[in-house]
Amino acid sequence: MNTYLIPQTDLQVSRIGFGCMNLGGLWDESLVSAEIQERAFSAIHTAIEHGFNFFDHADIYTFGKSELVFGTFLQQHPGLRERVVLQSKCGIRFAGQPHASAPQRYDFSYGHIIRSVEGSLSRLKTDYLDLLLLHRPDPLMEPEEVARAFEKLHTDGKVRYFGVSNHTSGQIALLKSHITQPLVVNQVQLSLAHPHLIAEGVWFNRNDGVSGHTDNTLDYCRLNKLQIQAWAPLAGGRLFDTTGQADPAAKLTAALIWEMAEHHQTTPEAIALAWLLRHPAKVLPIIGTLNPRRIRAVAAADIVELSREVWYRLFIVSQGVPLP
């Protein structure tokens, strides 16, 4: 698979990332069964065989079990750690922890960031993360605390580079004004089913009910050398569903994806991801399937090149209205 150099780093990563959210099975505190571990190992093997070297985690994924399973895989494959790039995220806390009345919340406090990374390192059975992202914006964030945590983790060699997820341009700018390490990633929801960050500039200043809030996050990240990573780039498979869609635009988008897949002699997954890969921001989609067949179908996107005309056909049909 072709690779990207993440700006401001020495990390050479596959153009498509492997999302590890569901590796651990159930989202509870049950033990990982042999069947779940075998399924996870098969998915990781298939991803590596097809050129994936970038693996995305978070401390909360299946209550930490996804990191635990991946750490076991690393332990059983000596030398693999140096050949892969590991990213994890922190900041989301479950309801009921540490006491029954605690709500779900976000936590960018110094103590929580440090504890979260130490937990991830223990589960992943590694001494360092290549990347740590702040998972979702914390309204109570004190940038000075985040800066102190980042400095400690970087100085101790536990995290090489830092980034954010689901953050706006203003939130990133505020954080950047306090930290000494560069922010190198913003992971956001982005797909043909959810193209708002790309579409907002097209519909800017319209008075026809299509325009929405314009934050310019995509342009801000490009200007400030933050790599855009796309979560849910296949919208959980909805992009390929031509029958179960209530939205006419979604149904037409799915039909066009299948048409383009046949034309390019490839998979619909490859077409949907190629649409993102065609963008000059060098978007890195993160796929989350554990199905080996779907992983192979996704990897085909690396060799699909969409013309400007095909890109716009897909974009227009996903919007459901003509361009202005």
Kindly report whether the global pTM for this prediction surpasses the value 0.85.
yes
- Long-range contacts of 37-46, Cβ-Cβ distance < 8 Å, separation of 24 or more: 37/69, 37/72, 39/290, 40/66, 40/69, 40/70, 40/73, 40/290, 41/69, 41/73, 42/290, 42/292, 43/18, 43/289, 43/290, 43/291, 43/292, 43/295, 44/18, 44/70, 44/73, 46/292, 46/295, 46/296
- Helix then strand then coil, in percent of the chain rounded to 5, is 45, 15, 40
Predicted pLDDT at 244: 81
Structure confidence at residue 97 (pLDDT): 85
Q: H-helix or E-strand containing 134? A: strand 129-134
Write the CA distances from 310 to 87, 261, 301, 317, integer angstroms: 33, 11, 15, 11
DSSP 8-state class, residue 99: S
Q: CA-based Rg of the chain, rounded to a whole angstrom?
A: 20
Residues lower than pLDDT 70 in the chain? 207-213
Contacts of 12 (CB under 8 A, 6+ apart): 3, 4, 5, 53, 85
What region, left, alpha or beta, does residue 282 occupy, with left being phi > 0 and alpha being psi -120 to 50 degrees? left
Q: What phi, psi does 67 have (nearest 5°)? A: -65, -40
Q: State the pLDDT at residue 210.
A: 59
Marked catalytic residue, from 61, 110, 128, 312: 61
Provide the pLDDT for residue 243. 87
**Is 61 a catalytic site residue?**
yes
pLDDT at 213: 67
Q: How does pLDDT run across 272-322, given as a tens digit for each residue?
A: 999 999 999 999 999 999 999 999 999 999 999 999 999 999 999 999 999
DSSP state of 83: G
The span from the CA of 255 to the CA of 244, in Å, is 12
pLDDT of the residue at 207: 62
Question: Using CA atoms, how far apart are residues 163 and 135, in angstroms rounded to an integer?
Answer: 9
Amino acid 296: pLDDT: 97
Determine how β-strand 17-19 pairs with β-strand 284-287: parallel
In terms of CATH, what superfamily is 3-189?
A: NADP-dependent oxidoreductase domain (3.20.20.100)
